[in-house]
Amino acid sequence: MIMNKILENYLVYLNVIEKKVNKFFDEQKPYIFCKKGCAKCCQNAEFPFSKIEFCYLMEGASKLPLETKQIISDNITKILTQRKQCTKEEFLYTCPFLINNVCSVYQYRGIVCRTFGLMNIGQDGRVKVPFCCYQGLNYSNVLEDGGTQISREKYQKLGYEKEPVAFNINYNFLTDADFENGFHFKFGEKKPLIEWFIQPDQQSPMPVEFPLTNPNIK
Look over the chain and give the mean of its residue pLDDT values, rounded to a whole number. Answer: 90
How far apart are the C-alpha atoms of 154 and 31, rounded to whole Å? 12
| 7-39 confidence digits (pLDDT tens) | 999 999 999 999 999 999 999 999 999 988 899
- 50, part of any domain: yes
Range of the domain at 96: 2-119+175-197
| Res 5: pLDDT | 87
Give the least confident one: 22-26, 62-66, 95-99, 206-210: 206-210
- Which whole number is the average pLDDT over 131-159? 91
- Which whole number is the average pLDDT over 176-203? 90
Selected residue with higher pLDDT from 201 and 112: 112
| 138-150 confidence digits (pLDDT tens) | 999 999 988 788 9
Asked whether 118 and 216 are in contact (CB, 8 A), the reply is no
- 162, part of any domain: no
- Which whole number is the average pLDDT over 65-76? 96
Query: Which contiguous run of DSSP H or E holds residue 190?
Result: strand 190-192
Q: Does the pLDDT value for residue 1 go beyond 70? A: no
pLDDT tier at 2 (50, 70, 90 boundaries)? very low
- 182, part of any domain: yes
- Which whole number is the average pLDDT over 69-90? 95
| Res 35: pLDDT | 86
- 125, part of any domain: no
How far apart are the C-alpha atoms of 12 and 37, rounded to whole Å? 28
Q: Please confirm whether the linkage preceding 211 is cis (ω < 30° from 0).
A: yes
| Res 207: pLDDT | 44
pLDDT tier at 211 (50, 70, 90 boundaries)? very low
| Res 140: pLDDT | 94
| Res 49: pLDDT | 98
CB neighbours of residue 186 within 10 Å: 16
| Res 216: pLDDT | 45
Selected residue with higher pLDDT from 202 and 186: 186
How far apart are the C-alpha atoms of 103 and 130, rounded to whole Å? 19
What domain count does the chain have?
Answer: 1
- 147, part of any domain: no
How far apart are the C-alpha atoms of 137 and 20, rounded to whole Å? 22
Q: Does the pLDDT value for residue 71 go beyond 90? A: yes
- 150, part of any domain: no
How far apart are the C-alpha atoms of 190 and 197, rounded to whole Å? 13
Give the least confident one: 51-55, 84-88, 187-191, 213-217: 213-217
- 15, part of any domain: yes
- 25, part of any domain: yes
How far apart are the C-alpha atoms of 187 and 4, rounded to whole Å? 14
